[in-house]
Structure 1
Amino acid sequence: MRIRALVSGLALMFAAFQVLAASEVQSVRLWRAPDNTRLVFDLSGPVEHKVFTLTAPNRIVIDVEGGNASKPFEQLALENTPISGLRSGKFDNNTLRLVIDLKAQVSPKSFTLPPNQQYGHRLVVDLFDQDADSPAKLPVTTTPQTPATPVSPTLPAIKLPPLPSSKRDIVIAIDAGHGGEDPGAIGPGKVYEKNVVLQISKELQRQINAEKGFRAELVRTGDYFIPLRKRTEIARQKGADLFVSIHADAAPRSSAYGASVFALSDRGATSETARWLADSENRSDLIGGAGSVSLGEDQMLAGVLLDLSMTASLASSLNVGQKVLSKMGGITRLHKSRVEQAGFMVLKSPDIPSILVETGFITNPSEARKLQTSAHQQALARSIHTGVRQFFHENPPPGTYVAWLRDSGKIASGPREHVVRSGESLALLAQRYQVSLGSLRTANKLKGDVIKVGQTLQIPATTLASQP
């Protein structure tokens, strides 16, 4: 009798433990991207699960061991998705069955995520579109290009001739940081970085597309997550001549303020702030669920980065970055007066000059308020656009409309700035910019040829055919 009572008691305790250990599905969220749909189930604890598909009708089944759903799922916006419905029920005493009813073919992928600063345990189900012509497929749209020329405070407006059919546009890939499951930094009043930077990115796209010879493409067009490496792949697919990643990050102290511009460094961060921000951005893949990321695990990439420091790509990144930073300094306070360098993963594209623009610290209450206003967003976009425009007027890629304008004397090569880096000499810079050593001394009021690392030099204009 005692043994029977003991066994019965242990069985009751085990059952009670199972109930306590059960994980509750607390809510479900949906994000739609151009080529996939993400469902995120918020959980009260970790779970084991398995996924399989059924036909007639088409549906995806997710069995969650030890799962419970005590309340019905909230209504989700299923328009423009392959999902027609979502339901749940107990398959057996220890299994919660989630059923996703489909109206289009998809390929599912699922994984769990541990808690982070924003969320608890999560079960993520990604549904990748199979048919490009599926009604669930969202179009990726860009703002139509107009022949208007923007007014710039530093570059005069120019009446441009018609675009020759053989000359291409300069393509700028604009990457709005974070998105979807990854909100980025969160400011006072729950201001999400992902929303602010998308608004600035769309405004920057509008301004760039208003200028003949330039085309801006958004890497992220809506509120959805894109892994960091995929962002550079998208830029490359769009034929980008420049990659600009827009952010509004957090800082350990709410008093930190100011805009910054970063280029890639393969030798570590140039400041503690740069290192902290880079580590924060690189963690976004873990937040969004792209898998484990290690900056040092890819030896081939490390070799490419080593070579990159000796190529024009990094030099161009620093050049355009300094121009953008200089223009931003005219409309907002700067955190640092020079382009910083850090190991941002999103900048690791060896063939595309890339910069990351921190428009301000969203954790600073004053900057958070400004970053939400359309006037400040327009001013920030204008300063970035002006810096990018100046860089490409001075360094147009071969075969582009802007290169044709410059070669035919339609635009002049104006004065430029160069920040001296280690190993550079005045003679080397004169050769690089195709100006005489004497004119370089005169433009900078130099008595000799001694220059210092970090010094900003004025590069005199090159001689071109006069405008008609």
Structure 2
Amino acid sequence: MNQLDTKKKSRRIFLQSGATLLLSVLVPKLSYAAQILAVRVWPAEEYTRVTLEGDVELKATQFLVKDPLRMVVDIDGLELNSTLKEIIAKIQSNDPYIKQVRVGQNRPNVVRLVFDLKEEINPQVFTLKPVGEYKYRLVFDLYPTNPVDPIAALIEKGQWLQEQPLAKSDPKASPPIAQAPTLPTPPTPSQLPSQAQTMPQPKLNPNPEAPLPGSSDLKNAPQLMRMITIALDPGHGGEDPGAVGRGGSYEKDVVLSIAKRLKAKIESQPNMRVFLTRDADFFVPLNVRVEKARKVQADLFMSIHADAFIETSARGSSVFALSDKGASSTAARWLANKENSADLIGGVNIKNHDKQLASVLLDLSTTAQISDSLKLGSAILGEIGGINRLHKGSVEQAGFAVLKAPDIPSVLIETAFISNPEEEAKLTDENYQNQMADAILKGINRYFAKKPPLAKNRLT
């Protein structure tokens, strides 16, 4: 090979190398497969959520099949790995909507999930951008096609008592603290005079002081005791753990335990019943918590939390109410912003989320509602101060989204700082949880002693 041929060959190799380098820069690699980092399943009666967390955004298509019922999901750009296979074991037998799940490599770069279903569902599939400690999330929310009404569900469980006959009280006994107004029971058809009884016309009663016919029936008829409905809202849940203590305690678990203890104590009262916005470990959007309380015509709404701060020395219990004029302190504003970000952490389907609801509810919130909330908060704060140090001795205010029910006195209770090791130990202690529940109940009774509930338009 002469010198000219050698130069031509070198030039050709150089051009080929340059072209290869240019293509590698301009054309992205198409063979990269996304990695599944975690799989989580959150079963609940309201809906089951399945979350796949990956290092890049995942794209999926899904369709429903009948006979038997199943949902088929194809995820593009994905290779089956051991983490994704964990989903099989995470479907429990008590899941209300999923029997089992099968997973496999359907074709190159496409993984197929097949969910065998227990009943017809209305699936919602959406993606979430990285937030907090989460990377990209692909979320499957499996809702029943016929959602159960919250009151109907509680009645079915035997947890929703109707208005109760008012027992004859002992004149020597003191009245209950939260004595509610009573309503007379209308007479039954058998108690009303029949047409035959009204003919002929009775003679006029010569004694004007004598009772009118039938009046004794009304006087002796049993009276109904107005049931007070209290909505308890354990904060966070599901994908949103809330604050995490140094010892590994999750806020969502602590506040659910306190709420359940408080529920049992409230229901021991003769004229009170309770509705929980969540009774298990699942995520509930902030606006849905408010909607639930309004659907059951709650007389009070109390959101229960366990505070956290960057400094572990922060300690004490607090109570907050809504403000339509700005936060009462920098700390209150900071906390409201943190609590209002729960939807981002928990994961809301933006397409179906009513963005206008929060602002509408704020506009409807009345001065009276906020005033009653402050009175309720003050009564509760006074009782909590007997079992734990108070972070601040008065009820604070800020724009908490979860307190924006326009017609329900609403407070947010920070039971203690879970970020403080000493208070974290308290929050996970059954005795302290019971003490906190007792204190809140005493605060409720103090509030109603000064402001008895008004009669409702209809009995529930």
TM-score (norm 1): 0.74
Equivalent position of 2:365 in the other structure? 308
Aligned pair partner of 1:116 in 97, 122, 131: 131
Cα 1:280–1:304 shift into 2, 3 Å: closer
% identical aligned pairs: 40
* 1:16–1:309 Cα change, 3 Å: closer
Say which SS state the counterpart of residue 232 (structure 1) adopts: helix
The answer on 1:100 being equivalent to 2:115 is yes
In structure 2, the partner of 1:359 is: 415
1:305–1:109 Cα change, 3 Å: closer
Equivalent of 2:29 in 17, 28, 32: 17
Corresponding residue number in structure 2 for 1:178: 236
User: Whole-Å Cα distance in 1 between the matches of residues 427 and 18 of structure 2?
Assistant: 66
**Unaligned segments of structure 1, at least 5 residues:** 148-155, 401-468
Q: Output the aligned Cα RMSD.
A: 3.4
Q: Distance in 2 between matches of 1:261 and 1:197?
A: 14
Tell me: CA distance 1:263–1:158, structure 2 relative to 1, closer, same or farther (3 Å): closer
Matched residue type, 1:385 = L
Equivalent pairs, count: 385
Match of 1:200 in 2: 258
Residues 285, 291 of structure 1: 8 Å contact kept: no
Whole-Å separation in 2 of the counterparts to 1:8 and 1:98: 38
Contact kept in structure 2, 1:262 and 1:339, CA below 8 Å: yes
- How has the CA–CA distance of structure 1 residues 65 and 301 changed in structure 2, closer, same or farther, with 3 Å as cutoff? closer
- The match for 1:47 is 58
Amino acid at match of 2:29: F
Q: Is 1:381 aligned to 2:437, yes or no?
A: yes
- SS, match of residue 67 in structure 1: coil
Amino acid at match of 2:315: Y
Change (3 A) 1:241 1:261: same
CA contact 1:263–1:318 (8 Å) conserved in 2: yes
Change (3 A) 1:233 1:158: closer
* 1:73 counterpart = 2:129: no
1:348 aligns with one of 404, 407, 418 = 404
1:318 aligned residue: 374
Query: What is the Cα deviation at residue 68 of structure 1?
Result: 2.1
Distance 1:208 1:245 in 2: 15
Of structures 1 and 2, the larger Rg is shown by: 2
Q: Distance in 2 between matches of 1:5 and 1:62?
A: 42
Deviates more, 1:113-122 or 1:158-167: 158-167
Q: 2:271 aligns with which of 207, 213, 220?
A: 213
> For the structure 1 residues 302 and 109, does the alpha-carbon distance in structure 2 shift closer, same or farther, using more than 3 Å as the test?
closer
Which secondary structure state, in structure 1, belongs to the residue aligned with residue 266 of structure 2?
helix
Any conservation in 1 of the 2:365–2:404 contact (CA below 8 Å)? no
Cα 1:189–1:33 shift into 2, 3 Å: same
Give 1:22's aligned amino acid. A
User: In the alignment, is the contact (CA less than 8 A) between 2:160 and 2:273 conserved in 1?
Assistant: no
The corresponding residue for 1:151 is: none
Q: 1:199 to 1:242 in 2, by over 3 A?
A: same
Could you tell me how far apart the structure 1 residues matched to 2:226 and 2:434 are?
27
Task: Tell me, in whole angstroms, the C-alpha distance in 2 between the residues paired with 1:23 and 1:14.
Answer: 21
The letter for the 2-side match of 1:190 is G
For the residue of structure 1 that corresponds to 2:315, the secondary structure is coil
1:308 Cα offset (Å):
3.0
Measured after TM superposition, the shift of residue 51 of structure 1 is 2.0
Deviations 1:211-231 (A, max 9, x none): 111112211111111110101
Matched-pair contact (CA < 8 Å) for 2:247–2:421 = no
From 86, 97, 104, the equivalent of 1:82 is: 97
- Asked whether the equivalents of residues 361 and 405 of structure 2 are also in contact (C-alpha less than 8 Å), the reply is no
Change (3 A) 1:138 1:106: farther
The correspondence of residues 446-465 of structure 1 with structure 2, limited to 5 A, is none
Q: Please point out which of 27, 43, 68 is paired with 1:32.
A: 43
Deviation digits for residues 84-114 of structure 1 (CA, Å, limit 9, x no counterpart)? 2212222332322222122211111011122
Q: Runs of 5+ in structure 2 lacking a partner?
A: 1-11, 166-173, 184-221
Are 2:68 and 1:57 equivalent residues in the alignment? yes
Residue pair 2:103, 2:113 contacting (<8 A) in 1 also = yes
Quote how far apart the aligned CAs of 1:251 are: 1.2
Report the Cα offset of residue 141 of structure 1: 4.6
**Are residues 1:370 and 2:381 paired?**
no
CA distance in structure 2 between the aligned counterparts of 1:5 and 1:252, rounded to whole angstroms: 54
The two structures have a TM-score, normalised by structure 2, of 0.75
Kindly report which structure 2 residues correspond to 1:201-280, keeping only aligned pairs within 5 A, or say none.
201-280=259-338
1:307-347 per-position Cα deviation (integer Å, ceiling 9, x unaligned) = 6353x211110001001001101110111100000111000
3-state SS in 2 of match to 1:206: helix
**Partners of 1:269 and 1:341 within 8 A in 2:** yes
Are 1:127 and 2:142 an aligned pair? yes
- Secondary structure in 1 matching 2:393: coil
